[in-house]
Amino acid sequence: MTVTIYHNPSCGTSRNTLAMIRQSGEEPVIVEYLKHPPDRVRLRALADAMGIPIRALLREKGTPYAELDLGNPKWTDDQLLDFMLAHPILVQRPIVETPKGTRICRPSETVLELLDRPAASFTKEDGEVVRR
């Protein structure tokens, strides 16, 4: 199975998601999207694969979302993509792609439905135990 994670190593949810993938026996392709941001076509393809609008790819917390007034409905999809390309931190994370589907894995245990052999349980960094 090919697994790709759009990952931010500074994000606990992203680190937990990556650990759950590895615990399942998969070594994913890791795209550190802050260093290597996806292009416009890839961002649109990710949204399409998830069946979500471009706006749903936006992350608010810890980003310039408010300063850029991105909650304003005046922005078109193309304009929102321009903002994400200029500020990759605006891209929601982690996004995981597998043959079973593509999802924003928040909470991190969302990734379990995308894996062939998810572990029976996983302990997150904060000590929370996730069971399938």
Q: Is residue 72 packed enough to be buried (19+ CB in 10 Å), middle (13-18) or exposed (0-12)?
A: exposed
**8 A C-beta contact, residue 50 and residue 114:** no
Question: One of 11, 20, 21, 111 is an active-site residue; which one?
Answer: 11
105 is known as an active-site residue: no
**8 A C-beta contact, residue 70 and residue 90:** yes
Question: Which residues are the active-site residues?
Answer: 11
